[in-house]
Structure 1
């Protein structure tokens, strides 16, 4: 893979020494303790439809209005609307993956197993047995899906967490593989939910990466493994063909899904890399072009942008969204590891986003209540992604 060294990406405006792995583990431990202290339960940007008032929102516009009002209100409306803290399988699955990276340490291995067992117990039964869903209904621009309906994002994060922690038995793994193909594969790409055929690039590649991983597991029946690999190859091909000439991927293919943002672009690149390696495909040109676009248009120096080329300080830009910030840190350490940026860029990104972590994550352990804006207290949207990014950074830095 080609490397390029743009001075814009590593300017001395944000200077940072290379952080030792021990410091990264210490920071990850603080974030874990925050999550453990609230039992991995908290607010979520998309929890508005868990309010009892949601039964009155019978039209998609009303559902979206309620969800977005709770999400964007400068005052936390959740207590008034009886929206309770949620413990989600998605956050716990991502946490299991994060902790599994440090499984050489008994403490982290035990944490990974505990989170993995809890997540595996939330695997759906019945019609969509083997998959995972969110714990809340969601209304988006492109569709609606209830909490009872599985989706590829929850399934990918939960399945990876269970597989990483070794908490998914053979029968559950085989059911997952079959349901992934039967319920979420359209014959061409992986869909976000069984009810939608819309091509969402990050969701499609999450399905491709998971299908590849499952196909390569020891004990996977040969015929099922072959179907998984065929589906993964098709899905990768679809998204690679959907890359724009400038290297970007829009969120999706519908007319109202043509925006480009940071964390979904990060998901696309990470999962494309994972799937291509597992399938033995040469996708360096697509990945190189995508990384170039990501670094040049979704960062302002080491400060993550939410939308492409957005000025820092605007809505959503410049450390405005914790999931985007965490994904930017995850991508920065990955880019260092792959030689796209010189060592130290990930440290600069951590220096840029660090002040936007919940205040307690920058203090010694023992400081009690988790405070701050709801979005930054969210286990699924903020704390678990930061835990994932910090442990990935630790592994990359430990490897030199």
Structure 2
């Protein structure tokens, strides 16, 4: 499955990527990591009580704001918000590179770039944002087809990313009270047991009180809960359940409900990355699923030029989030030349030199010049940092098995 380890990143490539990463970082820091998000539309000042009262109107408004041009979003007066997931990505969630470990420090008008202090500040911010139930959530209310989440309501994905960041860049031990509170939240509020004896193993819900089954959510929660509570009774059956949902062609659809039957690039990358991390941590029996998943990912989630697709097999809107995830997954699985090509494509075609930000994507009418703090800026900083960290053979977290202070078996 892995191609031979042969770095193709030149010094010039690395300096270009570093200069872009540093400019985007400076933009984020100058805005105190607060900004717009594709899913923050319900916080528009024009969202009246009638819209907020009904599921269909909430969903319609949210989707309208998600796809609205920048000028309309500006008129909607949605306040910029700090997203815990943004901070977690900067702390190295998702097997990224914590800001404290960046190989070269950017300069800024504020003075010296103190990496260790910034990591501590991000850690303190995240701890202050933890909910009483032990989890973390998005700072905005949002409506999905399957459920409604209140502003700040704890959910599986944000909680897992934050815990991952606090373990990696925050240097917090797994037995820290805040992290153990998160483990309690995952197991107490999100674990869904099999409906009957002998049925497939259980899964993790997205939020408390909702039972929608989403495969990358279950895999994330299983991995994080095992890092915090080795030997817990939920992780093994949850991972087995996700493996059992892999299609014959190697893909995973998004989830179990009828409207979750799509396959997209960045969630496919999530699953592959998590399986890779589990495998490197010693979890047995994953190689065949990774092989099949990787082959599908390469075949369907990239076009004929090796560039990412947002949705498998479809050349439509190219989401910067999918590009960022592709850079990391390609690099992690050893496709270094392709990762380099995707990274250079990103800075040539998705980076705004004047503003120092990444565009949201590219559609059939050209570049989508909207700026989303979490969805594009944080993910691109995360991905480029991985590219820079892994440019030399044998260097970086993926060169060796992960050591998170716990033994799987």
> Which TM-score bucket, shorter chain as reference?
0.7 to 0.9
Query: 2:333, 2:154 → 1: CA distance?
Result: 32
TM-score when normalising by structure 1: 0.82
Tell me, yes or no, if the aligned pair for 1:212 and 1:279 is still in contact at 8 Å. no
Shift of 1:111: 2.7
- Residues 399/64 of structure 1: CA separation in 2 closer, same or farther (3 Å cut): same
Of residues 66-75 and 286-295 in structure 1, the stretch that sits farther from structure 2 once superposed is 66-75
Of residues 65, 75, 87, the one that matches 1:92 is 87
Query: Relative contact order: is structure 1 or structure 2 higher (C-alpha 8 Å, sep ≥ 6)?
Result: 1
Shift of 1:3: 4.6
Tell me, yes or no, if the aligned pair for 2:97 and 2:386 is still in contact at 8 Å. no
- Residues 206/237 of structure 1: CA separation in 2 closer, same or farther (3 Å cut): same
Query: 1:290, 1:197 → 2: CA distance?
Result: 26
Shift of 1:201: 0.8
Shift of 1:78: 3.0
- Residues 344/29 of structure 1: CA separation in 2 closer, same or farther (3 Å cut): same
Tell me, yes or no, if the aligned pair for 1:17 and 1:344 is still in contact at 8 Å. no
- Residues 208/177 of structure 1: CA separation in 2 closer, same or farther (3 Å cut): same
Task: Tell me what 1:43 maps to.
Answer: 36
Shift of 1:54: 4.8
Of residues 225, 238, 241, the one that matches 2:241 is 238
Aligned length: 360
Query: 2:327, 2:248 → 1: CA distance?
Result: 26
Query: Which whole-Å deviations, capped at 9, do the CAs of 1:54-91 have from their partners, x for residues lacking one?
Result: 53222211011111111112243233322111111111
Query: Which whole-Å deviations, capped at 9, do the CAs of 1:244-281 have from their partners, x for residues lacking one?
Result: 00000000011111000000101111112223443522
Query: 2:359, 2:346 → 1: CA distance?
Result: 15
Tell me, yes or no, if the aligned pair for 1:357 and 1:376 is still in contact at 8 Å. no
Task: Tell me what 2:231 maps to.
Answer: 226
Tell me, yes or no, if the aligned pair for 2:9 and 2:391 is still in contact at 8 Å. no
Task: Tell me what 1:79 maps to.
Answer: 74
Task: Tell me what 1:269 maps to.
Answer: 272
Of residues 285, 297, 301, the one that matches 2:300 is 297
> Is 1:355 equivalent to 2:348 in the alignment?
yes
> Is 1:396 equivalent to 2:403 in the alignment?
no
Bigger fraction of residues in helix: 1
Q: Which runs of 5+ in 2 are unaligned?
A: 106-113, 194-201, 361-367, 395-409
Aligned structure 1 segments of 4 or more residues deviating by more than 6 angstroms: none
Shift of 1:104: 6.8
